[in-house]
Structure 1
Protein backbone atom coordinates (compact mmCIF):
# COMPACT_ATOMS: atom_id res chain seq x y z
CA UNK A 1 0.00 0.00 0.00
CA UNK A 2 2.85 2.36 0.70
CA UNK A 3 4.22 1.90 -2.83
CA UNK A 4 0.98 3.06 -4.43
CA UNK A 5 0.84 6.25 -2.37
CA UNK A 6 4.45 7.10 -3.03
CA UNK A 7 3.97 6.51 -6.78
CA UNK A 8 0.93 8.79 -6.80
CA UNK A 9 2.82 11.42 -4.82
CA UNK A 10 5.59 11.29 -7.40
CA UNK A 11 3.11 11.66 -10.26
CA UNK A 12 1.39 14.62 -8.61
CA UNK A 13 4.75 16.23 -7.88
CA UNK A 14 5.74 15.87 -11.54
CA UNK A 15 2.44 17.44 -12.56
CA UNK A 16 3.14 20.34 -10.20
CA UNK A 17 6.58 20.82 -11.76
CA UNK A 18 4.92 20.83 -15.19
CA UNK A 19 2.37 23.40 -14.04
CA UNK A 20 5.16 25.60 -12.71
CA UNK A 21 7.11 25.33 -15.97
CA UNK A 22 4.03 26.20 -18.01
CA UNK A 23 3.17 29.17 -15.81
CA UNK A 24 6.75 30.45 -15.81
CA UNK A 25 6.97 30.18 -19.60
CA UNK A 26 3.70 32.10 -20.04
CA UNK A 27 4.80 34.74 -17.54
CA UNK A 28 8.16 35.31 -19.24
CA UNK A 29 6.46 35.52 -22.63
CA UNK A 30 4.00 38.10 -21.31
CA UNK A 31 6.85 40.17 -19.88
CA UNK A 32 8.76 40.12 -23.17
CA UNK A 33 5.76 41.01 -25.34
CA UNK A 34 5.24 44.74 -26.01
CA UNK A 35 2.16 46.30 -24.44
CA UNK A 36 1.03 47.55 -27.84
CA UNK A 37 0.54 43.98 -29.05
CA UNK A 38 -2.05 43.33 -26.37
CA UNK A 39 -3.95 46.51 -27.23
CA UNK A 40 -3.91 45.88 -30.99
CA UNK A 41 -5.26 42.33 -30.67
CA UNK A 42 -8.08 43.37 -28.35
CA UNK A 43 -6.94 41.11 -25.54
CA UNK A 44 -6.68 42.28 -21.95
CA UNK A 45 -3.85 44.64 -21.06
CA UNK A 46 -0.29 43.54 -20.49
CA UNK A 47 -0.47 44.70 -16.89
CA UNK A 48 -3.48 42.48 -16.14
CA UNK A 49 -1.92 39.43 -17.82
CA UNK A 50 1.36 39.86 -15.96
CA UNK A 51 -0.52 40.10 -12.65
CA UNK A 52 -2.61 37.01 -13.42
CA UNK A 53 0.39 35.02 -14.61
CA UNK A 54 2.52 36.25 -11.70
CA UNK A 55 0.00 34.78 -9.27
CA UNK A 56 -0.12 31.63 -11.39
CA UNK A 57 3.66 31.26 -11.08
CA UNK A 58 3.46 31.87 -7.34
CA UNK A 59 0.75 29.28 -6.73
CA UNK A 60 2.23 26.66 -9.03
CA UNK A 61 5.64 27.11 -7.39
CA UNK A 62 4.01 26.67 -3.98
CA UNK A 63 2.48 23.43 -5.24
CA UNK A 64 5.79 22.26 -6.72
CA UNK A 65 7.59 22.70 -3.39
CA UNK A 66 4.58 21.03 -1.73
CA UNK A 67 3.55 24.08 0.28
CA UNK A 68 0.09 23.93 -1.30
CA UNK A 69 -1.86 20.89 -2.40
CA UNK A 70 -1.10 19.86 -5.96
CA UNK A 71 -4.77 19.35 -6.75
CA UNK A 72 -5.90 22.43 -4.84
CA UNK A 73 -8.07 25.18 -6.29
CA UNK A 74 -5.21 27.68 -6.63
CA UNK A 75 -3.02 25.25 -8.53
CA UNK A 76 -5.84 24.34 -10.88
CA UNK A 77 -6.62 28.03 -11.42
CA UNK A 78 -2.98 28.73 -12.25
CA UNK A 79 -2.97 25.96 -14.86
CA UNK A 80 -6.21 27.29 -16.37
CA UNK A 81 -4.92 30.88 -16.51
CA UNK A 82 -1.63 29.81 -18.09
CA UNK A 83 -3.46 27.57 -20.54
CA UNK A 84 -5.76 30.38 -21.63
CA UNK A 85 -2.79 32.67 -22.15
CA UNK A 86 -0.80 30.10 -24.11
CA UNK A 87 -3.73 28.91 -26.24
CA UNK A 88 -5.49 32.21 -26.95
CA UNK A 89 -3.42 35.28 -26.16
CA UNK A 90 0.08 34.15 -27.14
CA UNK A 91 -0.77 33.24 -30.77
CA UNK A 92 -2.64 36.54 -31.21
CA UNK A 93 0.13 38.78 -29.87
CA UNK A 94 2.79 36.73 -31.62
CA UNK A 95 1.35 37.68 -35.02
CA UNK A 96 1.72 41.41 -34.28
CA UNK A 97 5.52 41.25 -34.31
CA UNK A 98 5.57 39.97 -37.88
CA UNK A 99 5.77 43.07 -40.02
CA UNK A 100 5.25 43.77 -43.67
CA UNK A 101 8.88 44.60 -44.46
CA UNK A 102 9.85 41.14 -45.62
CA UNK A 103 11.29 40.39 -48.99
CA UNK A 104 11.19 37.18 -50.98
CA UNK A 105 14.05 35.70 -48.91
CA UNK A 106 13.05 36.95 -45.47
CA UNK A 107 13.03 40.26 -43.62
CA UNK A 108 15.25 43.08 -44.88
Structure 2
Protein backbone atom coordinates (compact mmCIF):
# COMPACT_ATOMS: atom_id res chain seq x y z
CA UNK A 1 0.00 0.00 0.00
CA UNK A 2 1.24 3.40 -0.82
CA UNK A 3 0.48 6.89 0.21
CA UNK A 4 -0.95 7.97 3.49
CA UNK A 5 -2.71 4.63 4.16
CA UNK A 6 0.62 2.83 4.24
CA UNK A 7 2.02 5.48 6.57
CA UNK A 8 -0.93 5.16 8.95
CA UNK A 9 -0.58 1.37 9.00
CA UNK A 10 3.14 1.74 9.68
CA UNK A 11 2.51 4.11 12.59
CA UNK A 12 -0.14 1.77 14.03
CA UNK A 13 2.28 -1.17 13.79
CA UNK A 14 5.00 0.78 15.60
CA UNK A 15 2.57 1.86 18.34
CA UNK A 16 1.38 -1.72 18.80
CA UNK A 17 4.99 -2.92 18.98
CA UNK A 18 6.00 -0.30 21.54
CA UNK A 19 2.95 -0.92 23.76
CA UNK A 20 3.38 -4.69 23.56
CA UNK A 21 7.10 -4.44 24.36
CA UNK A 22 6.25 -2.34 27.40
CA UNK A 23 3.77 -4.94 28.65
CA UNK A 24 6.21 -7.74 27.91
CA UNK A 25 9.00 -5.97 29.79
CA UNK A 26 6.65 -5.42 32.75
CA UNK A 27 5.70 -9.13 32.78
CA UNK A 28 9.34 -10.21 32.48
CA UNK A 29 10.56 -7.96 35.30
CA UNK A 30 7.66 -8.99 37.54
CA UNK A 31 8.38 -12.69 36.95
CA UNK A 32 12.08 -12.09 37.52
CA UNK A 33 11.46 -10.45 40.91
CA UNK A 34 9.19 -13.21 42.24
CA UNK A 35 10.39 -16.12 44.37
CA UNK A 36 10.68 -19.38 42.46
CA UNK A 37 8.54 -21.13 45.08
CA UNK A 38 5.56 -18.89 44.27
CA UNK A 39 5.02 -20.41 40.84
CA UNK A 40 4.36 -24.03 41.89
CA UNK A 41 2.26 -22.68 44.76
CA UNK A 42 -0.18 -21.15 42.27
CA UNK A 43 -0.05 -24.25 40.05
CA UNK A 44 1.52 -22.65 37.01
CA UNK A 45 4.67 -23.07 34.96
CA UNK A 46 8.02 -22.76 36.72
CA UNK A 47 9.65 -19.34 37.02
CA UNK A 48 12.36 -20.23 34.50
CA UNK A 49 9.78 -21.35 31.95
CA UNK A 50 7.86 -18.07 32.27
CA UNK A 51 11.08 -16.07 31.94
CA UNK A 52 12.11 -18.06 28.86
CA UNK A 53 8.64 -17.81 27.34
CA UNK A 54 8.21 -14.08 27.85
CA UNK A 55 11.84 -13.18 27.16
CA UNK A 56 12.14 -15.47 24.14
CA UNK A 57 8.98 -14.26 22.48
CA UNK A 58 9.91 -10.66 23.24
CA UNK A 59 13.30 -11.18 21.60
CA UNK A 60 11.72 -12.93 18.61
CA UNK A 61 9.26 -10.07 18.14
CA UNK A 62 12.17 -7.63 17.99
CA UNK A 63 14.39 -9.75 15.74
CA UNK A 64 11.67 -10.78 13.30
CA UNK A 65 9.57 -7.61 13.31
CA UNK A 66 10.33 -7.07 9.63
CA UNK A 67 8.49 -10.32 8.80
CA UNK A 68 5.22 -9.09 10.25
CA UNK A 69 3.47 -8.77 13.56
CA UNK A 70 3.11 -12.52 14.23
CA UNK A 71 5.89 -12.75 16.81
CA UNK A 72 4.83 -9.47 18.42
CA UNK A 73 1.30 -10.84 18.88
CA UNK A 74 2.59 -14.14 20.30
CA UNK A 75 4.80 -12.23 22.73
CA UNK A 76 1.91 -9.98 23.71
CA UNK A 77 -0.35 -12.96 24.36
CA UNK A 78 2.30 -14.64 26.55
CA UNK A 79 2.79 -11.44 28.55
CA UNK A 80 -0.94 -10.87 28.96
CA UNK A 81 -1.53 -14.44 30.14
CA UNK A 82 1.17 -13.91 32.75
CA UNK A 83 -0.06 -10.46 33.81
CA UNK A 84 -3.76 -11.31 33.90
CA UNK A 85 -3.64 -14.88 35.22
CA UNK A 86 -0.39 -15.69 37.02
CA UNK A 87 0.48 -12.29 38.52
CA UNK A 88 -2.78 -11.87 40.48
CA UNK A 89 -2.48 -15.38 41.95
CA UNK A 90 1.12 -14.76 43.00
CA UNK A 91 0.12 -11.44 44.59
CA UNK A 92 -2.69 -13.23 46.41
CA UNK A 93 -0.43 -15.83 48.04
CA UNK A 94 2.33 -13.34 48.78
CA UNK A 95 0.05 -11.06 50.78
CA UNK A 96 -0.51 -8.42 48.13
CA UNK A 97 3.05 -7.22 47.80
CA UNK A 98 3.75 -4.54 45.26
CA UNK A 99 0.76 -3.12 43.40
CA UNK A 100 2.60 -3.23 40.06
Equivalence for 1:98: 95
Equivalence for 1:48: 49
Which has more radius of gyration? 1
Per-residue deviation, 1:36: 1.0
Structure 2: segments with no counterpart, 5+ residues: none
Q: How far apart in 1 are the matches of 2:5 and 2:45?
A: 44
Answer yes or no: is the 8 Å Cα contact 1:27–1:53 preserved in 2: yes
Answer yes or no: is the 8 Å Cα contact 1:62–1:68 preserved in 2: no
Q: How far apart in 1 are the matches of 2:18 and 2:28?
A: 15
TM-score (norm 2): 0.84
Equivalence for 2:73: 76
Per-residue deviation, 1:61: 3.0
Structure 1: segments with no counterpart, 5+ residues: 100-108
Equivalence for 1:61: 62
Equivalence for 1:85: 82
Higher helix content, 1 or 2 = 2
